[in-house]
Structure 1
């Protein structure tokens, strides 16, 4: 009897150990179907500080937070399950900066978003004016699953909890270029790691960091020359229980600093720029979820 009992205990322990180390399939991009619906909230926080010695005004600081929310219904998808056309009900876009806040729309509206070649936005069947389309597109183009972020994080295989891997530097470079950062050299220490979030019922989470030792801004004044630079791209991706559903929460933080000089006819003036962009995305596959529940906290 005792030998049989110990055998059963040993088998249970082995099965438990095997389950604990089982490789996980990472659902980094949702596979959607026509008719799928989800509540979406996107927040983009930009913080900038610039200083130039000897120039009137000398210091410039700005903090802007833009929040977009909508109940999204998928109207058309491609063969890989990526949406080509969506309806955004109860859509709103608000902004906040120190001492000022406002809304792009007087009230929530229904938009139709097309993602075929570029991004087109329609209201009442007509394409919205260029200014509004540019503002909405600038936020929606940062939606995690519509960027290269899932691609450069994808290890191409199942991984175990606690395992680390290297993000794809080539794809990360293309992602950063879309944010106006031309990478010259990556620093050592880039990694992505799968962990369980104890504060959220053990949900699977990918934490990643990609340090950059030297970069150039895509848009620089003609008389400005950079002398040194560094940046960090980091983020956290909370995965859904079902890989097909894609991540439920994502946070991407890009921070960089740049020093240089501006050449004028009379002298060379030193300048300094520090900036960061934080993008937070929440989504839930439910038509009945309240949008207020998904808005990022201030």
Structure 2
């Protein structure tokens, strides 16, 4: 789950302002999990023709790092799930991740502690499996739910997988999933990679941050890419890259998911999404 990687040319800082459909502005705060991060959140389908899902303060941890099998080449799912769990840990679901470490720091003990958390999730998800080529979706769901159960949150949080390959409006569906129940649900989009002939050749998981659009206009998806940082391309695996968010327009679907326009080689499609649903209103 690596593929060709690039610098985050389209990335914007996690700390940004966004405008709701009512026209009022809210400002996001830094994503450092070592300090108390104020909640920046808007989620919901505002009208029958527009939608806006937004989660702020979610880390953007590099998956490629020393201390993981194959330096984390296959650890996009564990890393993206750890991003989500850092957010949960700081917003009412304490001790999902033991300790108080800054995922944005390259200093010790922070860097090694974050690596250990990713490794733990990889073990729970059987990442690499028998073939050494990523994480099976069922194993990913089981791993996340096992972590919630281990920490006593099985009645409060639940992971599942939703197929979006044939969804006519996947952007709106993402917003609906993010807002379902008590809202503030975390999304881990699954991007399927195809070659020029349309054959499936791989995939990648990212941590969702937004889904916005209108039925009469364009639809956009935002996410933190664990392999999109400079270090993701096989660079310094001992240094955490600066956090950054990427946003892309969703194109048409051919039955394999909507094209994520401009992402990497422009041959990735939104195939599905892992959903971490809040079953109780903790925060």
Q: Give TM-score scaled by structure 2 length.
A: 0.27
Structure number, greater radius of gyration? 1
Structure with the higher fraction of residues in strand conformation: 1
